[in-house]
Amino acid sequence: MPIITTPQEYNEESLFVDLRQLYGYPLHLKCESFNFAGSVKLKAAASMVEAAERSGRLGPDSVLVESSSGNLGMALSMIAAAKGYRFVCVVDSRTNLSTRQVIQSLGSEVHIITEPHPTGGFLEARLEYVRQMCASDSRYLWLNQHANENNWQAHYRTTGPEIEKQFPNLDVLFVGAGTTGTLMGCARYFRDQPGSKVTVVGVDSEGSVTFGTPPGRRMIPGLGAGVRPALFDPSLVDDTVLVSEVDTIRTCHALARRGFLFGGSTGTVVHGARTWLEEHRKDQDVVAVAVSPDLGDRYLDTVYRSAWVQDIYGLDSTPDVSSDAAVTGAY
Which domain CATH number covers 211?
A: 3.40.50.1100
pTM listed for this prediction: 0.92
Of 300, 298, 311, 45, give the one whose Cα is nearest residue 182: 45
Show the domain range for 214: 7-36+149-324
2 part of a folded domain: no
Q: Are residues 113 and 167 in the same domain?
A: no
CA distance linking residue 152 with residue 12, whole number of Å: 19
Q: Are residues 27 and 127 in the same domain?
A: no
Of 13, 9, 4, give the one whose Cα is nearest residue 158: 13
Residues 68, 74, 78, 84, CA torsion sign: positive
Q: Are residues 171 and 295 in the same domain?
A: yes
Alpha helices in the chain (DSSP H): 20-23, 41-55, 71-83, 97-105, 121-136, 149-157, 159-166, 181-192, 245-256, 264-280, 306-313
CA distance linking residue 283 with residue 247, whole number of Å: 23
Q: Which residues of the chain have pLDDT under 50?
A: 326-331
Q: Are residues 176 and 315 in the same domain?
A: yes
Q: Are residues 113 and 137 in the same domain?
A: yes
Q: Are residues 86 and 13 in the same domain?
A: no
Identify the pLDDT of residue 283: 84
The residues with which 112 forms a beta bridge, in sequence order, are 91
CA distance linking residue 22 with residue 295, whole number of Å: 18
Q: Which helix (H) or strand (E) holds 205?
A: strand 199-205
Identify the pLDDT of residue 67: 92
Q: Are residues 251 and 183 in the same domain?
A: yes
Task: Note the maximum CA span of the chain.
Answer: 62
Identify the pLDDT of residue 331: 29
* Three-class secondary structure of residue 141 per DSSP: strand
Q: Are residues 217 and 281 in the same domain?
A: yes
Q: Are residues 61 and 107 in the same domain?
A: yes
Total domain count, the chain: 2
Contact 237, 200 (CB under 8 A): yes
Q: Are residues 92 and 169 in the same domain?
A: no
Contact 227, 120 (CB under 8 A): yes
* Three-class secondary structure of residue 121 per DSSP: helix
Identify the pLDDT of residue 327: 39
The residues with which 239 forms a beta bridge, in sequence order, are 201
331 part of a folded domain: no
Identify the pLDDT of residue 329: 34
Helix 41-55 with 71-83: angle, nearest 10 deg:
50
Backbone angles phi, psi at 267, to 5 degrees: -60, -40
Last residue of some domain: 99, 118, 142? 142
265 part of a folded domain: yes
